[in-house]
Amino acid sequence: MAIESTKEGSYTTVRMTTIAHTSIVKEAKRFGLKNIDYLDAAVNYFALRGLNPVEVEAREGTLIMQQMNRLGDRLFAYMQEEERGILMPMLEELIRIRLTTERVLRLEELVLSTLPEDDLLRRKEKVDQLREQNDTAIKSQVHDIFIVAKSKGPGKKVSRISEVK
């Protein structure tokens, strides 16, 4: 191999088959590149990726696996972000609604079963006090449920809401 220097850099002469040279000329022309620029890019491509250009199938398999790993990592990160930012607040609101509804129904049953209608109007303060107690109980239950849910982690079985008290 002979080394030659110009303003643009150092060059060397390389021996290759006629078929390889024809391919380089054809592909360089297709991309509008000089032969040397195309050849430099091709060599750098394999060198940067640590690939053996002779093992075509292994190279393709390696590239596919690398892409799949990157895609899997991105998908997992996206799912974690969705869980933190969207799914957990939605779940919290659904639990809050369910517990509120159950408490309101219990309160209504208690009030209606113990007081006649005219007595109910006179005892509005008692109803307000019961409502405040229920609000406190609901907040406490939501808090307790989320402590349990967070300790179990995503994808693990959590007790049914009606069973957690």
- Spatial CA neighbour of 102 closest among 43, 20, 161: 161
Q: Residue 34: what pLDDT?
A: 93
Q: Residue 71: what pLDDT?
A: 93
Over 80: is that where the pLDDT of 147 sits? yes
Structure tokens that stand for 57 in this block: 């199938």
Give the residue extent of every domain in the chain. 3-50, 84-163
| Beta-carbon count within 10 A of 138 CB | 20
Over 80: is that where the pLDDT of 89 sits? yes
Rounded to an integer, what distance in angstroms lies between the CA atom of residue 120 and that of residue 41? 86
- DSSP string computed for 104-115: HHHHHHHHHHHS
Q: Residue 37: what pLDDT?
A: 92
Q: Residue 156: what pLDDT?
A: 60
Rounded to an integer, what distance in angstroms lies between the CA atom of residue 25 and that of residue 47? 21
Per-residue pLDDT tens over the stretch 117-136: 677 676 777 778 888 898 89
Alpha helices in the chain (DSSP H): 18-31, 35-49, 56-82, 88-114, 117-122, 124-152
- Spatial CA neighbour of 28 closest among 37, 17, 15: 37
Per-residue pLDDT tens over the stretch 17-27: 999 999 999 99
Per-residue pLDDT tens over the stretch 25-42: 999 999 999 999 999 999
- Helix 18-31 with 35-49: angle, nearest 10 deg: 100
Over 50: is that where the pLDDT of 164 sits? no
